[in-house]
A and B are shown apart, each in its own frame.
Chain A
Amino acid sequence: MSTLGVLAVAGLLTFGTRLSFIVLEGRVETPPLFVRALRFVPAAVLSALILPDLFAKGGVLRLDPHNPRLWAGAVAALVAFRTRNVLLTIAVGMASLWLLQYLLAA
């Protein structure tokens, strides 16, 4: 497949996923197990995308306390948990990262 071909298929698949239940609503009975499983998809997928960004760099695990992304991510998670405010979470997370990078470099 050419790159554009891959993009076209990926785009159609994404659109189909987003359209799925909007179109099926009231027409098809969805299997209960599928609906139950679907509930865990965002938590599982987003976590699988986030954690390597915090715990690894360039495909190598970085579990040491001098990893600024780990701490900044933890602070951001705490802010998200306490405030549920997207803007504040991003702002505090970035500010923490910059501060830690500055401190750890010093």
Chain B
Amino acid sequence: MTAPSSTFTRRHEFLSGCRDELPILLGVAPFGMIYGLLALGAGLSPGTAQAMSAIVFAGAAQVVIAQLVHEGSPGLVVVLTVFVVNLRHALYSASVAPYLRRLKAPFKGLLAYLLTDEAYAVAITRYLRDGDRTAVSPHRHWYYLGAGLTLWACWQVTTAVGIFLGARLPENWSLDFTLPLTFIALVVPALKDRASGAAAASAGVVALAALGLPYRLGLIAAALTGVGVGLGVEGRS
């Protein structure tokens, strides 16, 4: 495809990023509301719940933090768990880094802040689609920015809606199920080989076996087990 240079404007890139992020919002919007509900249910004030969406800006980690705070977990356990749950973002960071090499530091910082599962999925698809074509847009990072900001706005607004609606969302709609569904949609296509499949399976089994542990310590144990098993299976093949 040889696109005219007019399609490479910042504005066009930004808007394409926004547009391509839209489908994924279907999973994120209910999840944001659920987070708002859970956070209030866990005893956080509306202000704290909303602030967490801006400060941490990581859905799964926020839900886990709310649960841990509710249980009265020590701060160190909360911080350690968040680190493990969000460690996958280091992988995304490594994956997008080559494409952002020439950007100025503030732009890099902004894009790093916006580097969620859902923004990464959209941005990396674009970068990989460009492949080794020579006529790539010099403004591709505006595409990433558009995708990231769209997700950010959706997350902040739906958090607020969840806090506002409080317990008025009917429980029998089971909207909390959109959380695992979003993760299934993200993780299943990534299970491309035996090693990553073994990592996922072993982590899942440990997470289930450790359900009784306090402070969701099973999550940390499961992550470590999964990574270890993945490395082991990869090393043998």
Which residues from 22 to 45 on chain A have a C-beta closer than 8 Å to any C-beta of chain B? 22-26, 30, 33, 35-45
CB distance from B91 to the nearest CB of A (A): 5
Contact B121 A46 (CB under 8 A): no
Q: How many residue pairs, one in A and one in B, have C-beta atoms under 8 Å apart?
A: 254
Q: A11-B55, A17-B93 are in contact. Are A94 and B44 (CB under 8 A)?
A: no
Contact: A81 with B113, CB < 8 Å? no
* Contact partners of B93 in chain A: CB under 8 A: 17-22
CB distance from A106 to the nearest CB of B (A): 14
Known contacts being A22-B112, A76-B181, is A61 close to B24, with CB within 8 Å? no
- Binary CB contact string for chain B from 211 to 237 against chain A (1 if under 8 A, 0 otherwise): 110000011001101110111001000
Asked if B185 and A39 make an inter-chain contact with CB atoms under 8 angstroms apart, the answer reads no
Instruction: Determine whether the beta carbon of A90 is less than 8 Å from that of B182.
Output: yes
**Does A14 contact B89, Cβ atoms closer than 8 Å?**
yes
Which A residue's beta carbon lies closest to that of B195? A40
A9 CA to B75 CA, complexed, in Å: 9
B157 interface residue (CB < 8 Å to A): no
- Is B65's CB within 8 Å of the partner chain A? yes
| Residues of chain A from 56 to 72 with CB closer than 8 A to chain B in the complex | 56, 59-61, 69, 72
Interface presence of B138 (CB below 8 A): no
Whether A46 contacts B174 by the Cβ 8 Å rule is no
Query: Is the pair B112, A89 in contact by a Cβ cutoff of 8 Å?
Result: no
A13 to B89, CA, bound (A): 11
A56: nearest chain-B partner, CB-CB: B211
> Across the interface, which residues of A come within 8 angstroms of B174, CB to CB?
94, 97-98, 101
B164 adjacent to chain A (CB < 8 Å): no
**Chain B interface SS verdict (over half):** helix
The residue in chain B whose Cβ has the minimal distance to the Cβ of A35 is B94
With contacts A81-B188, A87-B23 taken as known, whether A47 is within 8 angstroms of B226 at the C-beta atoms is yes
Tell me the residues in window 147-202 of chain B with beta carbons closer than 8 Å to chain A beta carbons: 172, 174, 177-191, 195-197, 199-202
A86 at the interface (CB under 8 A from B): yes
- With both chains docked as a complex, state the minimum distance between the C-beta of B39 and any C-beta of chain A, in angstroms: 11
Q: Does any Cβ of A come within 8 Å of B15's Cβ? A: no
Asked if B91 contacts A3 (CB within 8 A), the reply is no
B58 within 8 A of A: yes
Q: List residues of chain B with CB within 8 A of the CB of A37.
A: 227, 230-231
Chain A residues near B (Cβ < 8 Å): 1, 3-11, 13-15, 17-26, 30, 33, 35-56, 59-61, 69, 72-73, 76-77, 80-81, 84-87, 89-91, 93-94, 97-98, 101
User: CB within 8 Å of A: which residues of B?
Assistant: 23-24, 26-27, 44, 48, 51-52, 55-58, 60-61, 65, 69, 75, 78-79, 82-94, 96-98, 100-101, 108-109, 111-113, 115, 121, 172, 174, 177-191, 195-197, 199-208, 211-212, 218-219, 222-223, 225-227, 229-231, 234
Task: Beyond A5-B75, A55-B208, list 9 extra A-B contacts (CB 8 Å).
Answer: A14-B56, A19-B109, A19-B112, A36-B234, A38-B94, A44-B202, A44-B225, A45-B203, A90-B26
6 intermolecular pairs with C-beta atoms under 8 Å apart:
A14-B56, A17-B93, A44-B199, A49-B207, A77-B188, A90-B26
